[in-house]
Amino acid sequence: MTDVNTLGEFGLIERLTNAFPITQPSTLKGVGDDAAVIDNDGFCTVVSTDMLVEGIHFDLAYTPLKHLGYKAVVVNLSDIYAMNACPRQITVSLAISGKYSVEALDELYAGIRAACETYAVDLVGGDTTSSPRGMIISVTAIGQGERQRLSYRSGARVGDLICISGDLGAAYLGLQLLEREKRIWLEHPDLQPNLEDQKYIVGRHLKPEARRDMIEAFRQNDLVPTAMIDISDGLSSDLFHICKQSNVGALIEESGVPIHPDAQLMALQFKLDPITCALNGGEDYELLFTIDPKDTDKVRFLPDIYIAGEILAAADGVKLNTKGGNLHDLKAQGWRHF
C-alpha cells in the first residue's frame, strides 16, 4: 500500500497516465499540457478540465457562490488561453449535498453565466447529481485554435525571453487574509472583518480573470509565444513544467517579477517574503510565456508584460537571481494535501 502523498500531484498523474498510448490520428496532444489538442484539419479543438472540491479548493465561509461559479469557469478558460487558443464552449458538472437550496444554485449559475458572457463562451452540457457531502464542480472548456499558432509547454528554446503577463502573489495573500479573518470570526463572531482596504488581493483570489486580452494582443501583433502556461500553481512550479517539457533551464530575475504594492504590504504583515509568495503562491492565472528574442519589440509595446528572465540550457538548472545578487535554485511544488 503506497500513500499517494509519496508521489505528489505530478508524480501521481504521471504514474496513472503514462501507460496510455495515443492511438487516434486526431489526437495531437494528450496528457501533459494546459489542454489537449484535437485536430480537425487545420483548426484544432483544445480541451481542458478542472475539478473544484469544497473544503479543498474553496471555502464557502468566505466565497460567495456567484464568485465561485465565475472562478470555476475562468480557471478553465485560462488553460485554453495558455494554449494561445480561444475558448468557445464549456460543460459544467456539479455534485451537491442536500444542504444547498435551489436559490444557492441559482447564485452559482449566475456566476457561471457572468463568466460565459464576459468571455463569450457557451454552456453546452454537464451533469447534475447529489453528493454525500459538500459541493464538487467539474468544468471542461473547449476552445479553438489554429494549429500553427498554438503554444505548447514544450517549445521554449535556449535564449528565449521569459515573460509574465501581470503581478503575482496577490491571490495567495488574499487567501491568507481570508483564512485569517475566518479564524478570527470563528473565535469572535461579533467581529465583522473589514476587507475594504484589501479589495485588490481579495479580488485576485475570489474573482480571478483569464488573460483573453493577451491572446488577442498576440494575434494583433503577429506574435506566437514559443512556450506558454498559465500560472495556477505558482511561477516556480509552472516554470518547471515549461523547462521539463522543453528540456531547458531558466534564470528568473527577482527584480523582473511583478508584485502589486498591496501584496507586498500584506506579505510583510504575514512575515512572508513577497518574492516567495510570487514564486510559490499560485492561482494568479497570469500567463507565463517565452518568446524568441527577435520578437522583443512586439512585446515591448504591449501593456502588462514583464520580461522576467531568460531560458538557459538544461544543465544550468532553474534559478532565481535575487536583488542581492545571489543565485537560488527554484523548486517545483504541486499540492500535497491528501
- Here's the x/- map for a copy of itself, 65-104, by CB under 8 A: it reads as -----------------------xx-x-xxxxxx-xxxx-
Closest distance to a copy of itself from the beta carbon of 204 (Å): 21
Total chain residues near a copy of itself (CB under 8 A): 82
192 binds a copy of itself per the rule CB under 8 A: no
Among 19, 189, 303, 329, binds a copy of itself (CB under 8 A): 19
Residue 122 or 197 having the CB closest to a copy of itself: 122
Residue 151 or 198 having the CB closest to a copy of itself: 151
Closest distance to a copy of itself from the beta carbon of 16 (Å): 5
* Residues 133-152 within binding reach of a copy of itself (CB under 8 A): 133-134, 136, 138, 140, 142, 144
CA distance linking residue 221 with residue 299, whole number of Å: 8
CA distance linking residue 27 with residue 141, whole number of Å: 17
Residue 106 or 197 having the CB closest to a copy of itself: 106
Check the CA dihedral 261-63-132-142 and report its sign.
Answer: negative
Closest distance to a copy of itself from the beta carbon of 262 (Å): 29
* Residues 103-122 within binding reach of a copy of itself (CB under 8 A): 103, 105-106, 109, 113, 116, 120-122
Q: How do beta strands 161-164 and 248-253 pair?
A: unpaired
61 binds a copy of itself per the rule CB under 8 A: no
* Residues 274-313 within binding reach of a copy of itself (CB under 8 A): none
Residue 26 or 221 having the CB closest to a copy of itself: 26
125 binds a copy of itself per the rule CB under 8 A: yes
CA distance linking residue 17 with residue 9, whole number of Å: 12
Closest CA to 49 of 100, 87, 11, 97: 87
User: How far from 1 is each of 4, 7, 74, 145, CA to CA, in Å?
Assistant: 9, 13, 37, 43
CB neighbour burial string for 213-245, b if at least 16 within 10 angstroms, e if fewer? ebbebbeeeebbbbbbbbbbbbbbbbbbbbbbb
Longest Cα separation, the chain: 62
Among 61, 124, 184, 313, binds a copy of itself (CB under 8 A): 124
Closest distance to a copy of itself from the beta carbon of 247 (Å): 22
Residue 13 or 302 having the CB closest to a copy of itself: 13
Which residues, 6+ apart, have CB-to-CB distance to 291 below 8 Å? 160, 161, 163, 223, 225, 226, 298, 299
CA distance linking residue 252 with residue 312, whole number of Å: 10
